[in-house]
Structure 1
Amino acid sequence: MNDKTATPRYAGPLVVEGALADAERMKRESNYLRGTIAEDLNDGLTGGFNGDNFLLIRFHGMYQQDDRDIRAERTEQKLEPRHAMMLRCRLPGGVMTPAQWLGIDKFAAEKTLYGSIRLTNRQTFQFHGILKPNVKPVHQMLHELGLDALATANDVNRNVLCTSNPVESALHVQAWEWAKKISEHLLPRTRAYAEIWLDQEKVATTDEEPILGPTYLPRKFKTTVVIPPQNDVDLHANDLNFVAIAEKGNLIGFNVLVGGGLSIAHGDKSTYARTASELGFIPLQSTLAVAEAVVTTQRDWGNRTNRKNAKTKYTLERVGVDRFRAEVEKRAGITFEEIRPYEFTGRGDRIGWVKGVDNKWHLTLFIENGRILDYPGKPLKSGLAAIASIHKGDFRLTANQNLIVAGVAQADKAEIERLAREHGLIDDSVSEQRKNSMACVSFPTCPLAMAEAERFLPEFVTNVEEIMQRHGVAEEHIVLRVTGCPNGCGRALLAEVGLVGKAMGRYNLHLGGNRIGTRIPRMYRENITEAEILTLLDDLIGRWSQERQDGEGFGDFTIRAGIIRPVMDPAVDFYD
């Protein structure tokens, strides 16, 4: 449980005065997210989008990127960067049908530069390398499959996460239904998406955004539904969290937690990671009203002058948890009850077969880095297509970049397993350490990348495995995360060992998180190389193997042994 409460220091203004960030102008002038995107699609002089459209397309689920491996070469050739779009699908709770999977598999193979499907830790998938002529077709393809990319990026509520393989599997459908309802309720109301991408005619009415407002939110906003004891969605990385409370196997309501977030900015001590604060318990019928009230409070009180301090976590620190809670109660017309007891025991995916209470089987497949492609000797993409062609249940993408073949009947179990093993989707030699390691995409496609992450992780984990083998803890694991910049996509600041990219080949090393994801790690060393990190870990893992208490995780050990001080109040001591 999270014990963070308001302290007497809160006395900030409800609204931050000052010159608005330019993003506010862009949103105000966008004609409800239309801009001139439709016209820009026909500009053949560039492979990218011009002016404000570069940012506006994010509201439509896309980021403009280029291949940074060849950027210098193209500059030397007097060519513009090879622009291509990354598109992120909206997929509440990560659930999709086998038919939908086959549709996206086909598009990835035929219409993207890299041919891959990338599972993200936002419990959805991304396409990388969509050239401009294929941008409109990708949206139309998704629409034909019953999917869309609306509001998966920029200043809106993004894809809503939901625990994907809970211990009490009967709760999944109930919780997932609420994740879908929350997602739909908080979507933008503008018809810009339908007009631009789906060729739907403009309706002769005035656009309104009753929840998000005409200039949308001050910054990105993330929401989860989590079913204890699994914290697989890393709730403390999110602005708004609904913790499922059940009685006799039935969902009766949610504990509401607000204000988590991990992104920081190197060298800016006004930025910090923060765990979410408990507001209270609500019955199910209050869920959408509370979701709306939290979002509109952040809409009205969030900092629109400085985007680095615009997230909900900074609003709570400025105005205080008690004042924020009272405003949510007023707007939702409810009174929060006392938090109901809940406990987390883990957050990793349960790899392999798990049987549900309905006697159906769920097969969680470990996908390193979430990258689905046919590799030599491991044709992962072909294997999942083969499974999708016969599977009668659904697929669930997890917030740990893995994939669950869910709802498998006993009669179909052997054939699903045969296909998975034949295509390298099941590998019994994968260590617990590798299963509990994760990285963001970073190079070559992310424009914010400072250091490698996805391409760095596999070999780095191998080195860590060798260290753990040498010290007799090869069967153990440490929650290890690598992110190529400080924006938090790899969730390194909820890891036991977190690497945050600082420059090519150099990282800040953070220690002291815990296995269940409820404690922020502190920076232990700044701007160091892989070799230096491995030397430090060799020493620390050696100590852990010799000095740990029964069942003590690595992060807890580093705190108890005095190797690192815990972050108690991030607004005050994150950098101390």
Structure 2
Amino acid sequence: MKKYKNNSLVVQGQLSDYERMKGESNYLRGTISDDLLDSLTNGFKGDNFYLIRFHGMYQQDDRDLRKERIEQKLEPKYTMMLRCRLPGGVITSKQWLKIYDFALNCTFYKSIRLTNRQTFQLHGILKNKLKNTHKMLNEVGLDSLATANDVNRNVICTSNPNETIIHHQIYEFSKKVSDLLLPKTNAYAEIWLDKKKIFKTYEEEPILTKFYLPRKFKISIVIPPYNDIDIHANDMSLVAIIDVHNTTILGFNLLLGGGLSFEHSNHATVPAISKDIGFIDYKNIFSVIQSVVTIQRDWGDRTNRKQAKTRYTIKRVGLQIFKKEIEKRANVFFEKSKPYHFISRGDRFGWLKGQDQLWYYTLFIPQGRIVNTIDLKLGECLQKIAQIHKGSFRITANQNIIISEISTENKINITKLLQKYNIDNSFSNVRKNSMACVSFPTCPLAMAEAERVLDNFVNKLELLLIKYNINHEYIVFRITGCPNGCARALLAEIALVGKSFGKYNLYLGGNKIGTRIPHLYLENLDENAIFKHLDKLIFLWSSERQTKEDFGDFVIRKKIVLEVIDSFNDFWKK
């Protein structure tokens, strides 16, 4: 097994087996094509189980049926989840119609799942349908390359329709960033699109190398004053600095080292908010982005994946050393960060007229799931809208949809369709600011329910606010089935993180604008215990709060939980 060379900035030791797998994969090809021909199993074997993630897919099984199938000595009910690459979250009506038709007719769950990284997932695809899925995406100009595993993930950006002029520039910028950091291997086209193999004496990945990154890497781009993409949940965030006329991007403040995953009881793992490095003007930003990624590529821990994210690299080598290396590689010098502030991070629902004089309608999507139920034909309604809509859709980082660029004439027709399907955003602000990860039955990492219990948990939270006559307020509430951070729970005012089936750890003290990590309040609580404690806490908030004091700020001021200022020092303190 290879070991790192002697370098104080590089972790020494035995490489993790993931590094062996990547190095031996022939630039992400592995033997995936052979597994596709194997009809004896619906799954992928050996390294291919992990390699398909670089191509945007996860192998899953129905955990509701797992025990039963084991008892029957049957293979788990394997299906694939595919995640589309969609930088900036923009999708055309034509693309939407094709994807919806495929989801309805070719997936087990007959739904589209909107993610909090501004894209969509298709769950329940059989292995023998995978090539057709990729070809369908390719026909409409999409792909799923690099939406999982040790690469830069889907690039997200502010989608608020109030910023239509700047948004277009930021959206185009997000696509360029995504293209810059994409794997250059031809493996995706060869395996999934039947493109001709390119025979070379060797193949190159000039940025990523054949070992790719030590761990996943996430980038977000935000337009203040809206933090609708939760900048502190990302390895690298770019805060757009706009000119006084609000028409031109001058450059970006660079923030590094955010991330929310951790491991229960493992004090070496922490969630953390990102650190401000400084300002870079627009002309130098791409060289800076590439430098950050290559530094993490070279210095990130490849011996211990639990310490492999960018925040741990920065903690180990020091922020100033990391910053100086960026300046050296990019041949730039950072200026002092420009001032900015946030006023919100939720989506603005309903109709809004943009700077381009076109209309935008933000639609709340319960649990981010586009599906038809007896009570709500959401998928069918969006299908009808897409058939007449000449603009595009924007998927938000809060799992909602903005119907974008609507003419005044077409606004009338879309309004009629929304009315016909009784879709009017008539949900409480608590519900609109709540989020859950997928969890059971498809996620292999889930320890407790999340998406399937969100509705019930929010109902109870709404009743508590009504009980104490404070239902004109809302609390940012999020629940996740495990501590891997998929629902960004560790930036919520109230967060539940799955510990075991039916049991959660309760975290309190995040804030409305998403700039503070909540702290552990109590461990291993079931539903009844959770709401018994929340009943007392919300009563205290309603009776002892200062004027317009938010719940997260209240529990910090009253010392109900410790304020997390520096996660590496504060997160695990009792």
Specify which of 258, 261, 278 is matched with residue 260 of structure 1.
Answer: 258
Question: What SS does structure 2 have at the residue aligned with 1:168?
Answer: helix
Post-superposition CA distance 1:509-546 (Å, at most 9, x none):
00010000000001100111111111111111111111
Deviation larger for 557-566 or 81-90: 557-566
Seen in structure 2, the aligned counterparts of structure 1 residues 472 and 13 have a Cα distance that, compared at 3 Å, is farther
2:572 maps to amino acid: Y
Question: What SS does structure 2 have at the residue aligned with 1:344?
Answer: coil
Question: What SS does structure 2 have at the residue aligned with 1:260?
Answer: coil
**Residue equivalent to 2:239:** 243
User: 2: distance between equivalents of 1:552 and 1:174?
Assistant: 36
Report if the CA contact (8 A) 1:166-1:230 is conserved.
Answer: no
Report if the CA contact (8 A) 1:448-1:485 is conserved.
Answer: yes
Are residue 216 (structure 1) and residue 212 (structure 2) matched? yes
Specify which of 133, 142, 149 is matched with residue 147 of structure 1.
Answer: 142
Specify which of 373, 377, 380 is matched with residue 379 of structure 1.
Answer: 377
2:59 maps to amino acid: Q
Specify which of 44, 47, 59 is matched with residue 49 of structure 1.
Answer: 44
Question: What SS does structure 1 have at the residue aligned with 2:451?
Answer: coil
1:186 maps to amino acid: L
User: 2: distance between equivalents of 1:304 and 1:33?
Assistant: 18
User: 2: distance between equivalents of 1:215 and 1:314?
Assistant: 19
Report if the CA contact (8 A) 2:482-2:498 is conserved.
Answer: yes
Post-superposition CA distance 1:187-221 (Å, at most 9, x none):
00101001101111112232111111110000000
User: 1: distance between equivalents of 2:169 and 2:213?
Assistant: 28
Post-superposition CA distance 1:442-464 (Å, at most 9, x none):
00000000000000100110000
Displacement of 1:166? 5.0
Question: What SS does structure 2 have at the residue aligned with 1:41?
Answer: helix
**Residue equivalent to 1:473:** 470
**Residue equivalent to 2:4:** none
User: 1: distance between equivalents of 2:381 and 2:36?
Assistant: 35
**Residue equivalent to 1:536:** 533
Number of residues of Structure 1 aligned to a counterpart in Structure 2: 564
User: 2: distance between equivalents of 1:82 and 1:564?
Assistant: 43
Specify which of 324, 327, 334 is matched with residue 326 of structure 1.
Answer: 324
Report if the CA contact (8 A) 1:263-1:488 is conserved.
Answer: yes
Report if the CA contact (8 A) 1:15-1:300 is conserved.
Answer: yes
**Residue equivalent to 1:6:** none
4+ aligned runs moved over 4 Å, structure 1 = none
Report if the CA contact (8 A) 1:85-1:130 is conserved.
Answer: yes
User: 2: distance between equivalents of 1:265 and 1:425?
Assistant: 40
Are residue 18 (structure 1) and residue 13 (structure 2) matched? yes
User: 1: distance between equivalents of 2:293 and 2:497?
Assistant: 29
Q: How does 1:481-492 map to 2 (within 5 A)?
A: 481-492=478-489
Seen in structure 2, the aligned counterparts of structure 1 residues 570 and 427 have a Cα distance that, compared at 3 Å, is closer
Report if the CA contact (8 A) 2:363-2:425 is conserved.
Answer: no
Q: How does 1:300-379 map to 2 (within 5 A)?
A: 300-379=298-377
**Residue equivalent to 1:423:** 421
2:565 maps to amino acid: M
Question: What SS does structure 2 have at the residue aligned with 1:539?
Answer: helix
User: 1: distance between equivalents of 2:544 and 2:411?
Assistant: 43
1:70 maps to amino acid: L
Report if the CA contact (8 A) 2:256-2:276 is conserved.
Answer: yes
2:181 maps to amino acid: L
Report if the CA contact (8 A) 1:421-1:427 is conserved.
Answer: no
Displacement of 1:419? 1.1
Question: What SS does structure 1 have at the residue aligned with 2:514?
Answer: coil
User: 1: distance between equivalents of 2:491 and 2:423?
Assistant: 27
Question: What SS does structure 2 have at the residue aligned with 1:267?
Answer: coil
Displacement of 1:421? 2.9
Q: How does 1:474-513 map to 2 (within 5 A)?
A: 474-513=471-510
- TM-score when scaled to structure 1? 0.97
User: 2: distance between equivalents of 1:424 and 1:87?
Assistant: 30
Question: What SS does structure 1 have at the residue aligned with 2:37?
Answer: coil
User: 2: distance between equivalents of 1:505 and 1:417?
Assistant: 41
Are residue 410 (structure 1) and residue 408 (structure 2) matched? yes
Question: What SS does structure 1 have at the residue aligned with 2:535?
Answer: helix
1:219 maps to amino acid: R
Post-superposition CA distance 1:77-121 (Å, at most 9, x none):
111001000000000010010000000001101110010000000
**Residue equivalent to 1:39:** 34
Question: What SS does structure 2 have at the residue aligned with 1:313?
Answer: helix
**Residue equivalent to 1:4:** none
Displacement of 1:283? 1.0
User: 2: distance between equivalents of 1:256 and 1:18?
Assistant: 31
Identity over aligned pairs, percent:
59
User: 2: distance between equivalents of 1:342 and 1:13?
Assistant: 36
2:313 maps to amino acid: T
- TM-score when scaled to structure 2? 0.97
User: 1: distance between equivalents of 2:460 and 2:266?
Assistant: 32
**Residue equivalent to 1:527:** 524
1:312 maps to amino acid: T
Q: How does 1:76-475 map to 2 (within 5 A)?
A: 76-205=71-200, 206-247=202-243, 248-249=245-246, 250-428=248-426, 430-475=427-472
Deviation larger for 147-156 or 470-479: 470-479
User: 1: distance between equivalents of 2:127 and 2:75?
Assistant: 14
Report if the CA contact (8 A) 2:162-2:353 is conserved.
Answer: no
Question: What SS does structure 2 have at the residue aligned with 1:389?
Answer: helix
Question: What SS does structure 2 have at the residue aligned with 1:488?
Answer: coil
RMSD: 1.0
Question: What SS does structure 2 have at the residue aligned with 1:353?
Answer: strand
Displacement of 1:168? 2.8
Structure 2 residue runs of 5 or longer lacking an equivalent are: 1-6
User: 1: distance between equivalents of 2:130 and 2:356?
Assistant: 41
Report if the CA contact (8 A) 1:367-1:425 is conserved.
Answer: no
1:111 maps to amino acid: C
Question: What SS does structure 1 have at the residue aligned with 2:29?
Answer: coil
**Residue equivalent to 1:63:** 58
Post-superposition CA distance 1:335-359 (Å, at most 9, x none):
1111000101110000111111111
User: 1: distance between equivalents of 2:318 and 2:423?
Assistant: 47
User: 2: distance between equivalents of 1:166 and 1:279?
Assistant: 28
User: 2: distance between equivalents of 1:134 and 1:67?
Assistant: 18
User: 2: distance between equivalents of 1:336 and 1:177?
Assistant: 24
User: 2: distance between equivalents of 1:401 and 1:425?
Assistant: 16
Displacement of 1:409? 1.0
Post-superposition CA distance 1:157-193 (Å, at most 9, x none):
0000010115332110011111110000000010100
Report if the CA contact (8 A) 1:167-1:230 is conserved.
Answer: no
User: 1: distance between equivalents of 2:65 and 2:258?
Assistant: 37
User: 2: distance between equivalents of 1:57 and 1:168?
Assistant: 37
Post-superposition CA distance 1:385-407 (Å, at most 9, x none):
00000001110000000001011
User: 2: distance between equivalents of 1:105 and 1:167?
Assistant: 28
User: 2: distance between equivalents of 1:129 and 1:422?
Assistant: 30
Post-superposition CA distance 1:264-301 (Å, at most 9, x none):
01121100000001111111111211110000000000
User: 1: distance between equivalents of 2:179 and 2:51?
Assistant: 20
